[in-house]
Amino acid sequence: MSSKPTKNVAKADGWVQKGFVNLYLSEKQLIHCWQVYEKEEKLNSDWHDEMHNGYRFTFSVDGKSGSVVCSMNCKDLSSPNAGWLLTSFAPTWLEALKLSLYKHLIVLEAQWGDNESSAPRAQYG
């Protein structure tokens, strides 16, 4: 006997996935991203700070495209970003990380979602 499918079930750490933040960068934004993270120190500093701010970064390879995927989510359940998943696809994990940090810190100004809403604050594409 099959059971009924469940949606948005809390995981052991209390995190419930609300959905994806679909954000596509323009060519101008991509150029700016590479300029912002030209220096390794800036990348390391931002990555370190965001991990300490409760963000989790995971990396995988997309089976269809072969791209590396950087997935970013917030473990702080009081954050408006809690439950949202921000992803970036690139040829290397380092480029995918740069794209995710750029989207998070520069484009979305560290605010992806809204605690009052079931939709992310900004969707592009």
Q: Hey, where are the domains in the chain?
A: 19-107
The CA-CA-CA angle for residues 13, 17, 19, to 5°, reads: 160
More confident residue, 114 or 50: 50
* pLDDT at position 9 over 80: no
Distance CA 98, CA 87 (A): 11
Distance CA 13, CA 101 (A): 23
Q: Tell me the CATH class for 19-107.
A: alpha beta
The first and second tokens of residue 55, run together, are 């963000």
Q: Report the share of the chain in percent with pLDDT over 90.
A: 58
* pLDDT at position 11 over 80: no
* Model pLDDT for residues 36-91, shown as the tens digit of each residue: 999 999 999 999 999 999 999 999 999 999 999 999 999 888 888 888 899 999 99
> 13: how many CB neighbours lie within 10 A of its CB?
8
Instruction: Answer whether 89's CB lies under 8 Å from 25's CB.
Output: no
| pLDDT, mean of residues 9-37 | 80
- Tell me which DSSP letter residue 4 carries: P
Distance CA 1, CA 107 (A): 47
More confident residue, 3 or 74: 74
What per-residue confidence (pLDDT) applies to 35? 97
The structure's pTM equals 0.80
